[in-house]
């Protein structure tokens, strides 16, 4: 059905019963939409202020070494839904939550390994409960195993 046919059909709708006032308003809106008389939809203001996102970020930065840190824990602490936390984070930070937390943890891990901390201790302090998982994440992100990274840092320090 082309727009002219839609308009003709809507014009034939009775102005009274069986339609309620709300139905008539919906029909008028639809007719205006089809006729092209409505411009683009106005920008919807954000339903949540940026302070909500700032609270999420602050919580993550203060708790990134907590092994139990996940989207549910963050949502509960910030009085938001897990869905909101996940979507807001991805939209604002252009990466997912897990990636960001791992990045923070790996920055700390590099510092600890450079200062002579063992791989197992570094994993634990950074919030990883499994040393093998820590090593895999470290290797995948940094490009070398954490033990090799520590040895290279120790060699560089002696020079």
List the structure tokens of 126.
């950074």
- Of the candidates 24, 86, 25, the residue with the CA atom closest to the CA atom of residue 56: 86
Report H helices in 36-81. Answer: 50-63, 71-78
pLDDT classification of 29: cutoffs 50, 70, 90? low
Q: Is the pLDDT of residue 45 over 70?
A: no
Res 5: pLDDT? 63
- Of the candidates 65, 74, 62, the residue with the CA atom closest to the CA atom of residue 128: 65
What average pLDDT does this structure show over 62-78? 95
Give the pTM.
Answer: 0.66
Q: Is the pLDDT of residue 76 over 60?
A: yes
Distance CA 94, CA 74 (A): 18
Peptide bond into 28 cis (omega under 30): no
Of the chain, the percentage scoring pLDDT greater than 70 comes to 67
Res 97: pLDDT? 94
């Amino acid at each position: 059905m082309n727009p002219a046919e839609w308009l003709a059909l809507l014009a034939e709708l009775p102005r009274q019963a069986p339609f309620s006032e709300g139905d008539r308003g919906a029909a008028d809106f639809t007719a205006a939409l089809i006729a092209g008389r409505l411009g683009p939809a106005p920008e919807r203001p954000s339903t949540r202020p940026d302070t909500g996102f700032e609270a999420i970020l602050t919580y993550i930065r203060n708790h990134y070494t907590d092994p139990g840190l996940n989207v549910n824990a963050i949502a509960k602490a910030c009085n938001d839904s897990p869905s909101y936390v996940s979507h807001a984070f991805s939209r604002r930070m252009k990466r997912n939550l897990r990636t960001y937390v791992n990045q923070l943890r790996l920055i700390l891990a590099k510092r600890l390994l450079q200062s002579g901390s063992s791989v197992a201790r570094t994993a634990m302090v950074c919030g990883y409960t499994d040393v093998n998982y820590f090593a895999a994440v470290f290797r995948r992100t940094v490009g070398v195993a954490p033990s090799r990274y520590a040895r290279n840092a120790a060699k560089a320090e002696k020079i």
